[in-house]
Amino acid sequence: MLGSIWVIKKNASFSFISWSEENQFCKYKKIDIILLIFYTFPLLYYCMRIGIDCRTYGSLHGYIGKYMEHFVSYLMENEDENEYVLFFHDREAGECTIPKSSRFHIIKTSTQTGSVCEQICFLYELSKEKLDVVFFSHPNIPLFYRGKTIVLLPDLVPYFYPRKYSGWTLLRYWNNFLLRNSIKKAHAIIVLSEILKRDIIEIFDVHEENIHIIPPMYLGMEKWKIFEQNEIQKFLTKEGIGEKYILSVGHLTEHKNIPRFLQAYHLFLKDIKESIDLVLVWKEDPSYHEIRSTLIQLELQGRVHIYNIIDEEKMELLYQGASLYALPSLYEWSEESLLTPLVHNTPLIVSSLPSITSFLKKDDAVFFRPMSIIEMQEALKKVFSNPLLNKIERDMSAFSSISVSTKIMNILSFFRKDLSSSSVVWEKNE
């Protein structure tokens, strides 16, 4: 008959030691057993002090801003084991309501992500809090911060498609330097897809075991209001949008490939007799002028509607009324852009990118090569000639805020076993 006992080892990891019934405790000194209990008990109930960088919190920061809203809300509603220090920028600090709990603390800071000031002021603010681990919602870890870190890296758009500010070449090199430093320094990197993971390994030579894939978070889960058809029509009339329209949502930047899609849309309009509008939603890159110039060149100003900032109710109305959702991107890092149209069962035409084709089946959408204007045009014609084409339903539970937040917490919990640097080992006395 065998017994067992937990024994503390280096880095506070645990292992079983077994002994035969006849030997039992005679192989251990009494002082060893007392020390075992003394050191083990506190570690089993250790309260980690976790920093959360919330400087990208809120709807003004787009997808990541809402991602952080949902994650922080999950922590406040479900987490009662650890202590959290939330770093907010001054302008967003009022958007988060802290529960009456000693486990949550807000630190206000005026430092912007990616700024030079971040390297000094934010470094000091992080260091003085004596944190066990810090979760960054962006790849901007201060250069001289030496604590344990987790980085959320949603994409590599700034690396592949940097903004085209005239004379700002130094800024581009600075941003790439911060990106590389953060990826190399991070103890864990969270990405949204296998494709992005492979890009990071190939470009930055990072160990594969440091990269964790967590699906993108669907931010509209269980919040969509179902509008009546007359409500949708009233909204479209007010906005001057036709009864049939194509919807495309995402940052209006170079990688979204909008100028080529506008050319395909222009050719499509010449082939049909119906009036079909195009609605583009999201912020425009002030350094990228090709979209506006293409609109003027093709004389599409009356057919194309651009919304830089839009509230959630209008977004719901646009999704529910759309005849088609288009994703003509040159680069996509995950299936995040498709989650909402999939929930609304909207027909899709999409670029045949690896991150998309690995998620969608052949019959789930009409695919086209993103550099081919003719293939885009044909995809538009194919869907509008068969309105029932590509309507699919998906189980979205894996993308819920609860599922994604739970996976992030699982990664944070990995750091618990490394909280003690002491080496306490008990061995049998021969």
pLDDT score at 274: 84
The SS3 assignment for 279 reads strand
Q: Is residue 132 part of a domain?
A: yes
Task: Please calculate the CA angle 289-332-353 and round it to the nearest 5 degrees.
Answer: 115
User: Are 76 and 181 found together in one domain?
Assistant: yes
Q: Is residue 2 part of a domain?
A: no
CA-based nearest residue to 339, from 310, 319, 322, 317: 319
User: Are 196 and 281 found together in one domain?
Assistant: no
User: Are 268 and 193 found together in one domain?
Assistant: no
User: Are 179 and 240 found together in one domain?
Assistant: no
Q: How many domains does the chain have?
A: 2
Q: Is residue 39 part of a domain?
A: no
Please say whether the beta carbons of 185 and 141 come within 8 A. yes
Q: Is residue 20 part of a domain?
A: no
- Any idea what the CATH number is for the domain that residue 204 is in? 3.40.50.2000
pLDDT score at 41: 47
Q: How far is CA 37 from the centre of its chain?
A: 42
pLDDT score at 32: 55
Domain region containing 320: 229-385
User: Are 313 and 185 found together in one domain?
Assistant: no
Q: Is residue 284 part of a domain?
A: yes
**Residue spans of the chain under pLDDT 70:** 1-46, 93-95, 99-100, 164-168, 221-224, 387-393, 417-430
Q: Which amino acid is at 314?
A: K
Q: Is residue 164 part of a domain?
A: yes
User: Are 277 and 156 found together in one domain?
Assistant: no
User: Are 172 and 245 found together in one domain?
Assistant: no
pLDDT score at 148: 94
User: Are 142 and 277 found together in one domain?
Assistant: no
Task: Quickly list H helices, 45-189.
Answer: 62-78, 121-128, 157-160, 169-185
Q: Is residue 23 part of a domain?
A: no
Q: Is residue 26 part of a domain?
A: no
User: Are 243 and 333 found together in one domain?
Assistant: yes
How far apart are the two ends of the chain, measured CA to CA in Å? 21
Model pTM score: 0.82
Long-range Cβ contact pairs of 222-230 (< 8 A, separation 24 or more): 223/312, 224/316, 224/319, 224/343, 224/344, 225/313, 225/316, 226/320, 227/316, 227/317, 227/320
User: Are 233 and 380 found together in one domain?
Assistant: yes
Count the Cβ atoms, other than its own, within 10 Å of residue 248: 25
Count the Cβ atoms, other than its own, within 10 Å of residue 144: 9
User: Are 250 and 179 found together in one domain?
Assistant: no
- Print burial letters for 377-402: b (CB count within 10 Å at least 16), e (below 16): bbbbeebbeeeebbeeebebeebbbe
User: Are 356 and 407 found together in one domain?
Assistant: no
Task: Report d(CA 343, CA 356) in Å as an integer.
Answer: 16
